[in-house]
Amino acid sequence: MFRFLVLLQMQIKNFLTLDIGHNRVFGLDILRMLAIMFVVFSHSASLLPGKIYMFFDLFYFDGVCIFFVLSGFLIGNIIIKSVEKNGFSRSELFTFWIRRWFRTLPNYYLFVFILGVLSKLFITGFPLRAIIPFLFFSQNLMHANDAFFGESWSLSVEEWFYLSIPLLLFFSVNFLKISFKRSLIVVSVFMLLFSTFFRYYMYSSGHLPEMIDYRRVVIMRMDNLMYGVIGAYISFYYQHFWTTNRYKFFITGIVLVLIWKVFSYIYPNIDSFYYANIFYPLFCMAVLCLLPALSQYSLKKYSVVAIAITYISLISYSLYLIHFSLIKKLLIDNIFSSFFGGDTIQAILLKNVFYWTASILGAFLLYKYFEIPTMKLRDKIKFK
């Protein structure tokens, strides 16, 4: 009996253990953890009483913006280090694309399949053709699309970023013969200004409402990632400046976050001048200012809290995919709606416990038994 309990304990420990690795930047894990927690919380609005949600909303910040800036920073660093080491050949370009798509597409298409099957089975009149735009990330090129897997709009923005920015850089370096360093800053600033001024043009011309929630349209949000790329540019080519001023930037970032939060309450209307033209640039600038300090903050020894933060960071992509369309909309709102029925305290508590537990546990399993194996497969394949 004792031996059985020991073996059971070992199995549970192995089941709950993830390999954190030795080269993680804990500051960026904190940022990624906060981003996904804000996203998951924002999608729980209908599960909470209005007053409770409004209270927690005081501590809510735009998780998607954080993800975009962080993604731009990380991908920018990958591109810079790769090009500075190996040059910018077609082989290098295709290697980048294949490695990125190996990282994001297997999980994504797995959920497209799962959600497609479940939607057809449990949602009356669900048309399978609604899935088609989501196969090619065209669901939010011109307007938001909530017909199926609505939260994937942000992944679509990222995928178009992965495709277009390296291609623009490749063209600039190999055809226009502009140095990579100069091409990187020119392309980054151009894309940042293009999206910013395009939002202003659509706002001032009165065409913004035609886009059906411009906040989730690809071209309207591409600039968010470019703030991160500019951060990667500065951190690599001007490392001394990036390092010595990290605390000044961090304080500036905190101040900008607080200003952003205050103005977000003053101008909550998404069609206001502030929301359309200042809301995203201001917050992205704030996140960018936090990066110098956070990107240099690592741990030698992990406490229980630090391990929990790192675990959430590791499973953040799987958590992003699983929590809303599958757990919230299909399971809670449709399949198990009668089981969770009523607005009693018990029903509200049960729905929220199920939402958070199923999301985090499901993401953990998905990460460990699907996401990690696909990444290991990617690392075994020779792309050159």
Record the tokens describing residue 13, joined without a space. Answer: 């420990």
Section 346-364 average pLDDT: 94
Question: Is residue 217 predicted with pLDDT exceeding 80?
Answer: yes
pLDDT for 226 equals: 98
Question: Is residue 174 predicted with pLDDT exceeding 70?
Answer: yes
| Residue at token pair 């690592």 | 298
Question: Is residue 4 predicted with pLDDT exceeding 60?
Answer: no
pTM, entire model: 0.94
Distance from CA of residue 327 to its chain's centroid?
A: 18
User: Residue 258 and residue 236: Cα distance in Å, rounded?
Assistant: 28
Section 36-62 average pLDDT: 91
Work out the angle at residue 194's Cα, subtended by the Cα atoms of residues 190 and 199, and round it to the nearest 5 degrees. 155
pLDDT for 211 equals: 85
- Dihedral, CA of residue 170, residue 175, residue 179 and residue 183, to nearest 10: -50
Section 157-173 average pLDDT: 97
pLDDT for 6 equals: 54
Domain boundaries, the chain: 22-48+61-380
Per-position DSSP letters for 4-68, written without gaps between them: HHHHHHHHHHHHT-----SS--HHHHHHHHHHHHHHHHHTTGGGS-HHHHHHHHTT---HHHHHH
Question: Is residue 7 predicted with pLDDT exceeding 80?
Answer: no
pLDDT for 345 equals: 85
Contacts of 44-49 spanning 24+ positions with Cβ under 8 A: 44/328, 44/352, 44/355, 44/356, 47/328, 47/332, 47/348, 47/351, 47/352, 47/355, 48/348, 48/352, 49/348
User: Residue 192 and residue 189: Cα distance in Å, rounded?
Assistant: 5
* pLDDT range class, residue 337, cuts 50, 70, 90: confident
pLDDT for 124 equals: 86
Cβ neighbours of residue 372 closer than 8 Å, sequence gap 6 or more: none
* pLDDT range class, residue 52, cuts 50, 70, 90: confident
pLDDT for 23 equals: 82
Record the tokens describing residue 8, joined without a space. Answer: 């059971």
User: Residue 193 and residue 250: Cα distance in Å, rounded?
Assistant: 24
Section 127-138 average pLDDT: 95
User: Residue 150 and residue 66: Cα distance in Å, rounded?
Assistant: 19
* pLDDT range class, residue 70, cuts 50, 70, 90: very high
* pLDDT range class, residue 212, cuts 50, 70, 90: confident
End-to-end CA distance of the chain: 54
Dihedral of CA 176/178/184/187: which sign? negative
pLDDT for 11 equals: 55
User: Residue 89 and residue 75: Cα distance in Å, rounded?
Assistant: 18
Crossing angle of helices 153-174 and 218-237, rounded to 10°: 60
Q: Detail the DSSP E strand segments found in the chain.
A: none
Please write down the HEC assignment for all residues of 112-158: HHHHHHHHHHHCCCCCHHHHHHHHCCCCCCCCCCCCCCHHHHHHHHH
Q: What percent of the chain has pLDDT over 70?
A: 95
- Which range of 204-208, 269-273, 341-345, 355-359 scores highest in mean pLDDT? It is 355-359
User: Residue 361 and residue 357: Cα distance in Å, rounded?
Assistant: 6
pLDDT for 2 equals: 58
**Which has more confidence, 335 or 319?**
319
Section 108-132 average pLDDT: 93
pLDDT for 12 equals: 57
Section 39-68 average pLDDT: 92
Rg (CA), the chain: 22
pLDDT for 95 equals: 93
Among the listed residues 29, 35, 38, the one whose alpha carbon sits nearest the alpha carbon of residue 60 = 38
Question: Is residue 117 predicted with pLDDT exceeding 70?
Answer: yes
pLDDT for 198 equals: 95
- Which range of 67-71, 87-91, 298-302, 336-340 scores highest in mean pLDDT? It is 67-71
